[in-house]
Chains A and B, each alone.
Chain A
Amino acid sequence: MNHGPLIFLGVLVTFVMSWWGLIFAPQVQIGVQQNASLVDGIYPRPRAGLAEQGHHVYVANGCVQCHSQQVRQESYTFDVVLTAPGTNNEIVIRALGKIAPGINAGAVAAAATDQKPQTILTNVPQGVADDAQARLKKAGATAKTLFIPLGVDIARGWGSRLTVAADYLYDQPVQVGHSRLGPDLANYGQRAPSTKLILEHLYDPRLTMDKSLMPAHRYLFETKPVGKKPSPDALALTGKFAPPAGHEVVPKPEALQLVAYLQSLRASAPLFEAPASPAPQP
C-alpha cells in the first residue's frame, strides 16, 4: 500500500494549521498597530539615537533573561472626585451626604477646586460612579470619574496600566521577557534615579542595593590611569569598590547608551485599549 500522498497531506495540514494559528492570525490581529494621537502628541514615539543604540546593548547583554517589560493588570475600579462645588452649596452638600454619608460634606465642598480635587468615593463600580457624577451635575457641581487599573504589578509601582502591543511598536526585537529575577522595566524611565546612580548600579549593583542579585557589568566600564585631570564622567567609588590608586572608572559609550535606553522606557500614556486616569498632581 502506498500511503505517501496521505502522509504528505497530513503533514502539510498540520504545518499549515500551526502557521495559521501562530503566525497568520496574530499578524491579522495585531500586525497593524499604529501610533495613537493623544492630546500631547503621538504615542509611542521612535527612540532618540542614543536610546535606540542602548536598545541593542540591552538585547546584546541578555537583560531580557531577568527583566520583563510587561505590566499585568487584573481588574479595575473607579474613584469619584469633586473638582468644583458650583454655586448652590446647600444642595451640593445634601447630594454629597446622599452619595457618600461617611465624608464631611461641608469641608469637601469648600476645599474642592480643579487643582485640588476632593475624593468623594473610592473603589466603586462604574454604575455607582456614573450615578454619583450625574447626581452632582444636577446639583450644579462638577465631578470627575477616575478610572483606576488594579493589579499586583501596579501595586508594586511598576506602572499605571497594563502593557499592550502598541507599547512595543518601536522595539525590534521586542523585549517582553519571560522571567522576573529582577524588577519589571516597562516604566523604568519614570522611576529611574539619576544617570549617575544607574551607572553605579550597572558597575556593581551592590553599590546601590545591598542584596541585589544582578551581576556586575564591569565590562561596560573602563578602568584607566587618571590623566592630567580626572574625567568628569568618572564614577565616585569608595571602599571595596574603589579602583586601584591612581586609576578611575569611566563608563564606555555602551554604558551611556544603555542608560539612555533605560531612561526612555515609559509605557504609561493612557490608550484606548489600556485606559488609565492620570495620577493627581501633588
Chain B
Amino acid sequence: MKDVQQHSVEENEPSIRSGATFLSMWILGLLGVLTWWAFSYVDARGGHFNSMVYAPYGSTNQLASFIPKDETGSAFARGKMVYGTYCGNCHQANGMGAAGIAPPLAGSEWVLAEGPNRIIRIPYLGLTGPIKVSGVEYNMAMLAIAAGGGMTEQQVADVLTYIRMDWGNKVAAPLVTPEQVSKVLSEIKDRTDPMTADELLKLPALVP
C-alpha cells in the first residue's frame, strides 16, 4: 500500500516545461461575443453617457418626448394662464372681445401681423382713440396693464405668443421672446402717453 502511494505522488508531480501554448479559439470567440453584447447593452441603455440621462431613462430624445413639446408649446400653456389673469376679463376667454368693452383678438389683423413689434407696445403703454379691427371701428381706451412691472417680460412674451396661436389664429412664427419684449421696452422707455392706431401703423410689424 505504502509503495503504491509513493508511486502515484511521483506521477502527479507537475513537470516543468518551457515554451508557449495556444489559447483555445472557442474561448476567444466567447470573449468576443460577450464583449460585443456588453458594448451593445451599454449603447442601448447608457444614453451616450449624457449627464442629462439617468436610469430608467434611455436617451435625451426619450426624455424630450415626455416634456410638453417645444418652447412655443410651453409659452402657449403659460400664456393661457396669463391671459386668464390679465386679459380675459375684457377680451373674453374666447378672444372675441365684447361690444363696448374690448375689440376681438381672434382673427384681428393686429394680432396676425407678421411680427409682434406693434402689439408688444400695447400692454406697456395702453391704447387710445379709434382703431379698426376686422373691419369694425372701435373707439375705447385700454389701460397700460403691464406698465411699471405689472407683468414680467416673460409673461408679456408668453401671452402675446398665446393670442397669436389660439382661437384659430395662425402666424408663421408665433413665438414672442422676452428678448424681443425688452428690445421694444428700451425703445419706449421715455414714453408715458398711450399709443394710437395711427402711430402703431407707422411702425414695422417685425421687431427690428
Q: How many A-B residue pairs have CB under 8 A?
A: 33
**Interface 1/0s, chain A 68-86, versus B by CB < 8 A?**
0000011110000000000
Q: Which of B53, B56, B65 contacts A75 (CB 8 A)?
A: B56
Inter-chain contacts of B65 with A (CB < 8 A): 126
User: Do A273 and B53 contact each other (CB < 8 Å), given the known contacts A126-B65, A147-B66?
Assistant: yes
Inter-chain contacts of B63 with A (CB < 8 A): 272-273, 275
User: Do A164 and B54 contact each other (CB < 8 Å), given the known contacts A29-B49, A39-B78?
Assistant: yes
User: Do A30 and B51 contact each other (CB < 8 Å), given the known contacts A74-B56, A75-B56?
Assistant: yes
Residues of B137-183 contacting chain A, CB below 8 A:
none
Q: Are A273 and B54 neighbours in the complex by a CB distance under 8 Å? A: yes
User: Do A162 and B54 contact each other (CB < 8 Å), given the known contacts A39-B78, A275-B63, A275-B66?
Assistant: yes
B159 to chain A, nearest CB (A): 14
User: Do A165 and B51 contact each other (CB < 8 Å), given the known contacts A74-B56, A75-B56, A76-B56?
Assistant: yes
B66 to chain A, nearest CB (A): 4
Q: Cβ of B67 < 8 Å from any Cβ of A? A: yes
Q: Cβ of B1 < 8 Å from any Cβ of A? A: no
Find the B residue at minimum CB distance from A25.
B49
Q: Cβ of A33 < 8 Å from any Cβ of B? A: yes
Inter-chain contacts of A73 with B (CB < 8 A): 56
Q: Among the interface residues B51, B54, B67, which one has the most CB atoms of the partner chain A within 10 A?
A: B51
Q: Cβ of A105 < 8 Å from any Cβ of B? A: no
Q: Cβ of A274 < 8 Å from any Cβ of B? A: yes
Inter-chain contacts of A25 with B (CB < 8 A): 49
Q: Are B67 and A272 neighbours in the complex by a CB distance under 8 Å? A: yes
Q: How many residues of B contact A (CB 8 A)?
A: 14
Q: Are A274 and B54 neighbours in the complex by a CB distance under 8 Å? A: yes
B167 to chain A, nearest CB (A): 14
Inter-chain contacts of A33 with B (CB < 8 A): 51
B182 to chain A, nearest CB (A): 16
Q: How far is the CA of A25 from the CA of B57 in the complex (A)?
A: 20
Inter-chain contacts of A75 with B (CB < 8 A): 56
Q: How far is the CA of A188 from the CA of B64 in the complex (A)?
A: 29
Q: How far is the CA of A39 from the CA of B64 in the complex (A)?
A: 17
Inter-chain contacts of A126 with B (CB < 8 A): 65-66
Q: How far is the CA of A163 from the CA of B65 in the complex (A)?
A: 20
Find the A residue at minimum CB distance from B78.
A39
Q: How far is the CA of A33 from the CA of B51 in the complex (A)?
A: 9
Inter-chain contacts of B66 with A (CB < 8 A): 76, 126, 147, 275
Q: Are B54 and A275 neighbours in the complex by a CB distance under 8 Å? A: no
Inter-chain contacts of A76 with B (CB < 8 A): 56, 66
Residues of A26-70 contacting chain B, CB below 8 A:
29-30, 32-33, 39
Find the A residue at minimum CB distance from B62.
A126
Q: How far is the CA of A75 from the CA of B49 in the complex (A)?
A: 19
Find the A residue at minimum CB distance from B50.
A29
A143 to chain B, nearest CB (A): 13
Residues of A99-142 contacting chain B, CB below 8 A:
126
Q: Are B52 and A273 neighbours in the complex by a CB distance under 8 Å? A: yes
Find the B residue at minimum CB distance from A274.
B54
User: Do A29 and B51 contact each other (CB < 8 Å), given the known contacts A73-B56, A74-B56, A76-B56?
Assistant: yes
Inter-chain contacts of A147 with B (CB < 8 A): 66
Find the A residue at minimum CB distance from B49.
A29
Find the A residue at minimum CB distance from B66.
A275
A121 to chain B, nearest CB (A): 16
Find the B residue at minimum CB distance from A37.
B154
What are 13 of the A-B contact pairs (CB < 8 Å)? A73-B56, A74-B56, A75-B56, A76-B56, A76-B66, A126-B65, A126-B66, A162-B54, A165-B51, A273-B51, A273-B57, A273-B63, A274-B54
Q: Which residues of A contact B (CB under 8 A)?
A: 25, 29-30, 32-33, 39, 73-76, 126, 147, 162, 164-165, 272-275
> What are the 9 closest A-B residue pairs judged by CB atoms, nearest first?
A273-B52, A30-B51, A275-B66, A29-B51, A147-B66, A75-B56, A164-B54, A29-B49, A273-B54
